[in-house]
Amino acid sequence: MSQESPSNSADRTTRRTFVKTTGAAAVAAGVLGPSMVWAEDKAGAKLPVLGEGDHTYEVHHGWGELPDSIRWGETHGVAIDQAGLIYIKHMAVIAEPVMDAIAVFDPAGKFVRSFGKEFHGGGHGIDIRKEGGEEFLYLCDIKNRVVVKTNLMGEHVWQMDYPREANLYQSLDQFRPTNIAFHPDGGFYVADGYGSNYIHQYDANAKWIRSWGGEGTDQGKMRTPHGIWLDNRPGREPSIVVADRANARLQYFTLDGDFKEIVNGVSFPAHFDLRGSEMLIPDLHARLTIMNDKNEVIVHLGYDQAWTDQVLDNFQVRGDVSKWQPGKFIHPHDACYDQDGNIFVVEWVPTGRVTKLRKVS
Protein backbone atom coordinates (compact mmCIF):
# COMPACT_ATOMS: atom_id res chain seq x y z
CA MET A 1 0.00 0.00 0.00
CA SER A 2 1.16 3.55 -0.68
CA GLN A 3 1.75 6.08 2.05
CA GLU A 4 -1.71 7.61 1.67
CA SER A 5 -1.45 8.41 -1.89
CA PRO A 6 0.12 6.61 -2.29
CA SER A 7 6.67 23.28 32.40
CA ASN A 8 3.77 22.89 34.34
CA SER A 9 1.77 19.85 33.38
CA ALA A 10 -1.45 21.55 34.45
CA ASP A 11 -0.70 24.40 32.05
CA ARG A 12 0.54 22.24 29.17
CA THR A 13 -2.56 20.36 28.14
CA THR A 14 -2.50 18.02 25.18
CA ARG A 15 -4.69 18.34 22.10
CA ARG A 16 -8.27 17.46 21.53
CA THR A 17 -10.66 18.02 24.40
CA PHE A 18 -8.22 18.49 27.26
CA VAL A 19 -9.34 15.27 28.94
CA LYS A 20 -6.48 13.78 30.94
CA THR A 21 -5.79 10.10 30.74
CA THR A 22 -2.09 6.76 30.92
CA GLY A 23 -0.44 3.50 30.04
CA ALA A 24 -0.54 0.12 28.27
CA ALA A 25 -0.96 -3.62 28.55
CA ALA A 26 -1.79 -6.53 26.25
CA VAL A 27 -4.73 -6.16 23.89
CA ALA A 28 -7.61 -8.58 23.94
CA ALA A 29 -7.82 -10.90 20.98
CA GLY A 30 -11.62 -10.84 20.84
CA VAL A 31 -13.38 -8.89 18.10
CA LEU A 32 -16.82 -7.46 18.65
CA GLY A 33 -19.20 -7.53 15.72
CA PRO A 34 -21.02 -4.42 14.48
CA SER A 35 -24.28 -3.21 15.90
CA MET A 36 -26.33 -0.89 13.70
CA VAL A 37 -29.81 0.53 14.05
CA TRP A 38 -31.38 3.65 12.52
CA ALA A 39 -32.42 7.04 13.89
CA GLU A 40 -33.95 10.03 12.15
CA ASP A 41 -32.53 13.52 11.63
CA LYS A 42 -34.65 16.68 11.83
CA ALA A 43 -35.71 16.30 8.21
CA GLY A 44 -36.92 12.76 8.83
CA ALA A 45 -34.01 11.09 7.01
CA LYS A 46 -32.78 7.92 8.66
CA LEU A 47 -29.35 7.97 10.24
CA PRO A 48 -27.35 4.87 11.15
CA VAL A 49 -26.48 4.28 14.78
CA LEU A 50 -23.27 2.42 15.65
CA GLY A 51 -22.05 0.66 18.76
CA GLU A 52 -23.86 -0.53 21.85
CA GLY A 53 -24.36 0.30 25.50
CA ASP A 54 -22.25 3.22 26.69
CA HIS A 55 -20.62 3.41 23.25
CA THR A 56 -23.58 4.14 21.01
CA TYR A 57 -23.29 6.87 18.37
CA GLU A 58 -25.55 8.44 15.74
CA VAL A 59 -23.66 8.82 12.45
CA HIS A 60 -23.59 12.17 10.61
CA HIS A 61 -21.52 11.84 7.43
CA GLY A 62 -20.48 14.94 5.49
CA TRP A 63 -20.38 17.11 8.61
CA GLY A 64 -19.43 20.79 8.37
CA GLU A 65 -20.53 23.64 6.08
CA LEU A 66 -17.54 23.99 3.80
CA PRO A 67 -17.17 27.38 2.04
CA ASP A 68 -16.92 27.65 -1.76
CA SER A 69 -13.25 28.63 -1.43
CA ILE A 70 -12.29 25.14 -0.19
CA ARG A 71 -12.78 21.74 -1.74
CA TRP A 72 -11.70 18.87 0.46
CA GLY A 73 -8.77 16.75 -0.57
CA GLU A 74 -7.81 13.82 1.63
CA THR A 75 -8.91 14.82 5.13
CA HIS A 76 -5.93 13.84 7.24
CA GLY A 77 -6.21 15.48 10.66
CA VAL A 78 -8.67 16.77 13.24
CA ALA A 79 -8.22 18.54 16.57
CA ILE A 80 -10.44 20.53 18.93
CA ASP A 81 -9.44 23.60 20.93
CA GLN A 82 -10.50 24.54 24.44
CA ALA A 83 -13.37 26.67 23.12
CA GLY A 84 -14.75 23.65 21.24
CA LEU A 85 -13.79 24.78 17.73
CA ILE A 86 -12.99 21.90 15.37
CA TYR A 87 -9.88 22.15 13.15
CA ILE A 88 -9.82 19.96 10.04
CA LYS A 89 -6.60 19.56 8.06
CA HIS A 90 -6.75 18.26 4.51
CA MET A 91 -4.38 17.65 1.61
CA ALA A 92 -5.68 19.18 -1.60
CA VAL A 93 -3.76 17.39 -4.34
CA ILE A 94 -4.90 19.54 -7.26
CA ALA A 95 -2.34 22.12 -8.38
CA GLU A 96 -4.82 24.99 -8.72
CA PRO A 97 -6.41 26.74 -7.04
CA VAL A 98 -4.15 26.79 -3.99
CA MET A 99 -6.47 26.37 -1.02
CA ASP A 100 -6.24 26.79 2.73
CA ALA A 101 -5.28 23.44 4.23
CA ILE A 102 -6.94 24.06 7.60
CA ALA A 103 -10.63 24.84 8.07
CA VAL A 104 -12.18 25.69 11.43
CA PHE A 105 -15.80 25.04 12.41
CA ASP A 106 -17.95 25.69 15.44
CA PRO A 107 -19.60 22.73 17.22
CA ALA A 108 -22.72 23.07 15.06
CA GLY A 109 -20.64 22.72 11.88
CA LYS A 110 -20.70 26.37 10.85
CA PHE A 111 -17.55 27.55 9.10
CA VAL A 112 -15.51 30.00 11.22
CA ARG A 113 -12.24 30.62 9.35
CA SER A 114 -9.50 28.96 7.33
CA PHE A 115 -5.77 29.36 6.79
CA GLY A 116 -2.65 27.46 5.75
CA LYS A 117 -2.23 27.86 1.99
CA GLU A 118 1.46 27.08 2.60
CA PHE A 119 0.41 23.50 3.47
CA HIS A 120 -1.55 22.94 0.25
CA GLY A 121 -0.74 19.45 -0.99
CA GLY A 122 0.95 18.41 2.24
CA GLY A 123 -1.59 18.78 5.03
CA HIS A 124 -1.24 15.91 7.52
CA GLY A 125 -1.03 15.80 11.33
CA ILE A 126 -2.56 18.51 13.53
CA ASP A 127 -2.43 18.71 17.32
CA ILE A 128 -3.21 21.43 19.86
CA ARG A 129 -1.49 22.23 23.15
CA LYS A 130 -2.00 24.95 25.73
CA GLU A 131 1.22 26.64 26.81
CA GLY A 132 1.36 29.55 29.24
CA GLY A 133 -2.30 30.36 28.83
CA GLU A 134 -2.28 30.25 25.02
CA GLU A 135 -3.10 27.39 22.65
CA PHE A 136 -0.83 26.43 19.75
CA LEU A 137 -1.10 24.16 16.73
CA TYR A 138 1.65 21.64 15.96
CA LEU A 139 1.44 20.72 12.29
CA CYS A 140 3.09 18.14 10.04
CA ASP A 141 3.50 18.84 6.32
CA ILE A 142 4.41 15.80 4.20
CA LYS A 143 4.95 17.79 0.99
CA ASN A 144 7.35 20.40 2.36
CA ARG A 145 8.66 17.86 4.92
CA VAL A 146 8.45 20.19 7.90
CA VAL A 147 6.97 20.50 11.36
CA VAL A 148 5.43 23.90 12.09
CA LYS A 149 4.17 25.51 15.28
CA THR A 150 1.52 28.22 14.88
CA ASN A 151 -1.04 30.00 16.98
CA LEU A 152 -4.72 29.23 16.47
CA MET A 153 -4.93 31.84 13.72
CA GLY A 154 -2.16 30.13 11.73
CA GLU A 155 0.64 32.62 12.47
CA HIS A 156 4.00 30.81 12.53
CA VAL A 157 6.03 30.54 15.73
CA TRP A 158 8.74 28.27 14.31
CA GLN A 159 9.39 25.74 11.56
CA MET A 160 11.81 22.81 11.47
CA ASP A 161 12.71 19.82 9.36
CA TYR A 162 14.88 16.80 10.27
CA PRO A 163 17.37 16.95 13.19
CA ARG A 164 20.94 17.28 11.86
CA GLU A 165 22.29 16.40 15.31
CA ALA A 166 20.89 12.89 15.05
CA ASN A 167 23.19 12.01 12.11
CA LEU A 168 20.46 9.83 10.63
CA TYR A 169 19.71 11.69 7.39
CA GLN A 170 21.63 12.60 4.30
CA SER A 171 18.91 14.81 2.81
CA LEU A 172 15.46 16.25 3.36
CA ASP A 173 14.02 13.63 0.98
CA GLN A 174 14.38 11.05 3.76
CA PHE A 175 12.13 13.00 6.15
CA ARG A 176 8.29 13.08 5.98
CA PRO A 177 6.79 13.76 9.43
CA THR A 178 3.26 12.52 10.08
CA ASN A 179 2.21 13.31 13.67
CA ILE A 180 3.26 14.89 16.97
CA ALA A 181 2.99 13.82 20.63
CA PHE A 182 3.56 15.97 23.72
CA HIS A 183 5.86 15.37 26.69
CA PRO A 184 4.41 16.40 30.09
CA ASP A 185 7.27 18.89 30.62
CA GLY A 186 6.51 20.89 27.47
CA GLY A 187 8.72 18.96 25.08
CA PHE A 188 7.38 16.98 22.16
CA TYR A 189 7.99 14.02 19.84
CA VAL A 190 7.91 13.89 16.04
CA ALA A 191 7.00 10.67 14.21
CA ASP A 192 8.80 10.42 10.86
CA GLY A 193 6.13 8.06 9.63
CA TYR A 194 6.61 8.39 5.89
CA GLY A 195 10.35 9.01 5.98
CA SER A 196 12.93 6.97 7.85
CA ASN A 197 10.69 5.45 10.55
CA TYR A 198 12.33 7.26 13.45
CA ILE A 199 10.88 9.03 16.46
CA HIS A 200 12.58 12.32 17.39
CA GLN A 201 12.32 13.84 20.85
CA TYR A 202 12.66 17.59 21.53
CA ASP A 203 12.61 19.73 24.67
CA ALA A 204 10.24 22.64 25.36
CA ASN A 205 12.53 24.97 23.38
CA ALA A 206 12.41 22.72 20.30
CA LYS A 207 15.96 21.51 20.90
CA TRP A 208 16.66 17.93 19.80
CA ILE A 209 17.26 15.43 22.63
CA ARG A 210 17.31 11.96 21.09
CA SER A 211 16.01 9.71 18.30
CA TRP A 212 15.10 6.05 18.22
CA GLY A 213 13.50 3.44 15.99
CA GLY A 214 14.32 2.96 12.32
CA GLU A 215 12.82 0.55 9.84
CA GLY A 216 12.21 -3.05 10.84
CA THR A 217 9.93 -5.58 12.47
CA ASP A 218 11.87 -6.27 15.68
CA GLN A 219 10.77 -4.65 18.92
CA GLY A 220 11.69 -0.97 18.88
CA LYS A 221 11.84 -0.94 15.09
CA MET A 222 8.95 0.38 13.03
CA ARG A 223 7.35 0.40 9.61
CA THR A 224 5.34 3.58 9.17
CA PRO A 225 5.14 4.97 12.72
CA HIS A 226 2.16 7.00 11.58
CA GLY A 227 0.62 8.11 14.87
CA ILE A 228 2.09 8.92 18.27
CA TRP A 229 0.59 9.91 21.61
CA LEU A 230 1.31 10.48 25.27
CA ASP A 231 -0.69 7.74 26.95
CA ASN A 232 -1.24 9.12 30.43
CA ARG A 233 -4.54 7.51 31.31
CA PRO A 234 -5.31 7.50 35.06
CA GLY A 235 -3.55 4.82 37.08
CA ARG A 236 -0.95 4.02 34.45
CA GLU A 237 2.65 5.13 34.07
CA PRO A 238 2.86 7.86 31.41
CA SER A 239 4.45 6.49 28.26
CA ILE A 240 4.58 7.03 24.51
CA VAL A 241 2.40 4.88 22.27
CA VAL A 242 3.16 4.62 18.56
CA ALA A 243 0.82 3.45 15.82
CA ASP A 244 3.31 1.16 14.06
CA ARG A 245 0.94 0.97 11.14
CA ALA A 246 2.54 -1.28 8.52
CA ASN A 247 3.55 -3.71 11.29
CA ALA A 248 -0.12 -3.83 12.38
CA ARG A 249 0.67 -3.18 16.03
CA LEU A 250 1.09 -0.57 18.73
CA GLN A 251 4.45 -0.08 20.42
CA TYR A 252 4.98 1.48 23.83
CA PHE A 253 8.10 3.35 24.95
CA THR A 254 9.18 5.18 28.08
CA LEU A 255 9.25 8.96 27.88
CA ASP A 256 12.99 8.61 27.15
CA GLY A 257 12.45 6.23 24.24
CA ASP A 258 13.20 2.88 25.87
CA PHE A 259 11.11 0.02 24.51
CA LYS A 260 8.35 -1.24 26.82
CA GLU A 261 5.97 -3.54 24.97
CA ILE A 262 4.08 -4.43 21.82
CA VAL A 263 0.28 -4.46 21.70
CA ASN A 264 -1.27 -6.58 18.97
CA GLY A 265 -4.86 -6.92 17.86
CA VAL A 266 -5.04 -3.76 15.74
CA SER A 267 -5.35 -3.82 11.97
CA PHE A 268 -3.75 -0.69 10.42
CA PRO A 269 -3.66 1.89 13.24
CA ALA A 270 -3.34 5.53 12.24
CA HIS A 271 -3.42 7.71 15.38
CA PHE A 272 -4.96 8.15 18.85
CA ASP A 273 -7.06 10.13 21.24
CA LEU A 274 -7.89 9.61 24.91
CA ARG A 275 -10.96 10.20 27.02
CA GLY A 276 -10.89 9.14 30.66
CA SER A 277 -9.69 5.54 30.80
CA GLU A 278 -10.35 4.88 27.11
CA MET A 279 -8.20 5.11 24.01
CA LEU A 280 -9.62 5.81 20.55
CA ILE A 281 -7.74 4.43 17.53
CA PRO A 282 -8.76 5.39 13.97
CA ASP A 283 -7.87 2.42 11.79
CA LEU A 284 -7.24 2.88 8.08
CA HIS A 285 -8.86 -0.52 7.53
CA ALA A 286 -12.43 0.82 7.78
CA ARG A 287 -13.11 1.00 11.51
CA LEU A 288 -12.59 2.86 14.77
CA THR A 289 -11.39 0.95 17.82
CA ILE A 290 -11.96 1.92 21.45
CA MET A 291 -9.83 0.20 24.10
CA ASN A 292 -10.04 0.25 27.89
CA ASP A 293 -7.16 1.10 30.21
CA LYS A 294 -5.84 -2.47 29.90
CA ASN A 295 -5.85 -2.07 26.11
CA GLU A 296 -8.64 -4.58 25.75
CA VAL A 297 -11.01 -3.91 22.88
CA ILE A 298 -14.34 -2.45 24.00
CA VAL A 299 -15.78 -1.99 20.52
CA HIS A 300 -14.81 -1.77 16.85
CA LEU A 301 -17.13 0.92 15.52
CA GLY A 302 -18.23 0.30 11.95
CA TYR A 303 -16.50 -3.06 11.70
CA ASP A 304 -17.82 -5.54 9.16
CA GLN A 305 -15.33 -7.99 7.66
CA ALA A 306 -17.14 -8.30 4.33
CA TRP A 307 -17.16 -4.50 4.00
CA THR A 308 -13.50 -4.32 5.03
CA ASP A 309 -12.58 -6.88 2.37
CA GLN A 310 -14.40 -4.80 -0.23
CA VAL A 311 -12.70 -1.59 0.88
CA LEU A 312 -9.24 -3.19 0.77
CA ASP A 313 -9.74 -4.79 -2.66
CA ASN A 314 -7.25 -2.65 -4.62
CA PHE A 315 -8.43 0.38 -2.61
CA GLN A 316 -10.98 1.19 -5.29
CA VAL A 317 -13.87 2.04 -2.95
CA ARG A 318 -12.10 5.15 -1.63
CA GLY A 319 -12.38 6.79 -5.03
CA ASP A 320 -15.95 5.75 -5.85
CA VAL A 321 -18.47 7.61 -3.72
CA SER A 322 -21.33 5.59 -5.21
CA LYS A 323 -20.03 2.54 -3.33
CA TRP A 324 -19.95 4.22 0.07
CA GLN A 325 -22.50 2.93 2.56
CA PRO A 326 -24.15 4.89 5.41
CA GLY A 327 -22.72 3.94 8.77
CA LYS A 328 -19.58 2.46 7.20
CA PHE A 329 -16.09 3.92 7.17
CA ILE A 330 -13.68 3.68 4.28
CA HIS A 331 -10.28 4.77 5.62
CA PRO A 332 -10.37 6.56 9.01
CA HIS A 333 -7.14 8.53 9.23
CA ASP A 334 -7.68 10.54 12.39
CA ALA A 335 -10.37 10.89 15.04
CA CYS A 336 -10.92 12.76 18.28
CA TYR A 337 -13.40 13.30 21.08
CA ASP A 338 -15.09 16.59 21.87
CA GLN A 339 -15.94 17.66 25.40
CA ASP A 340 -19.29 15.85 25.29
CA GLY A 341 -17.85 12.53 24.16
CA ASN A 342 -18.88 12.89 20.52
CA ILE A 343 -16.30 11.67 18.01
CA PHE A 344 -15.12 13.47 14.88
CA VAL A 345 -13.63 11.24 12.17
CA VAL A 346 -11.68 12.31 9.08
CA GLU A 347 -10.89 9.88 6.28
CA TRP A 348 -8.21 9.27 3.68
CA VAL A 349 -10.42 9.49 0.59
CA PRO A 350 -9.82 11.73 -2.47
CA THR A 351 -12.92 13.87 -1.85
CA GLY A 352 -12.31 14.06 1.87
CA ARG A 353 -14.97 13.11 4.41
CA VAL A 354 -15.74 14.37 7.90
CA THR A 355 -18.12 12.35 10.07
CA LYS A 356 -19.54 13.28 13.44
CA LEU A 357 -20.49 10.41 15.70
CA ARG A 358 -22.98 11.94 18.13
CA LYS A 359 -22.89 10.09 21.43
CA VAL A 360 -26.37 8.93 22.36
CA SER A 361 -25.48 6.75 25.36
Strands (E), 116-222: 123-131, 134-141, 146-151, 156-160, 179-182, 188-191, 198-202, 208-213
Q: Where are the domains of the chain?
A: 36-305+332-349
Q: Which of 322, 324, 299 is nearest to 311 (CA)?
A: 324
* Tens-level pLDDT at each residue, the chain (361 residues): 445 543 333 343 454 544 333 333 333 333 334 445 555 565 667 899 999 999 999 999 999 999 999 999 999 999 999 999 999 999 987 888 999 999 999 999 999 999 999 999 999 999 999 999 999 999 999 999 999 999 999 999 999 999 999 999 999 999 999 999 999 999 999 999 999 999 999 999 999 999 999 999 999 999 999 999 999 999 999 999 999 999 999 999 999 999 999 998 899 999 999 999 999 999 999 999 999 999 999 999 999 999 999 999 999 999 999 999 999 999 999 999 999 999 999 999 999 999 999 999 8
pLDDT recorded at residue 9: 37
pLDDT recorded at residue 45: 73
Q: How many whole angstroms separate alpha carbon 56 and alpha carbon 35?
A: 9
pLDDT recorded at residue 10: 34
Architecture of domain 36-305+332-349: 6 Propeller (2.120)
Contacts of 142 (CB under 8 A, 6+ apart): 91, 122, 124, 176, 177, 178, 194
Q: Give the CA dihedral 113, 19, 335, 133, nearest 10 degrees.
A: 30
pLDDT recorded at residue 361: 84
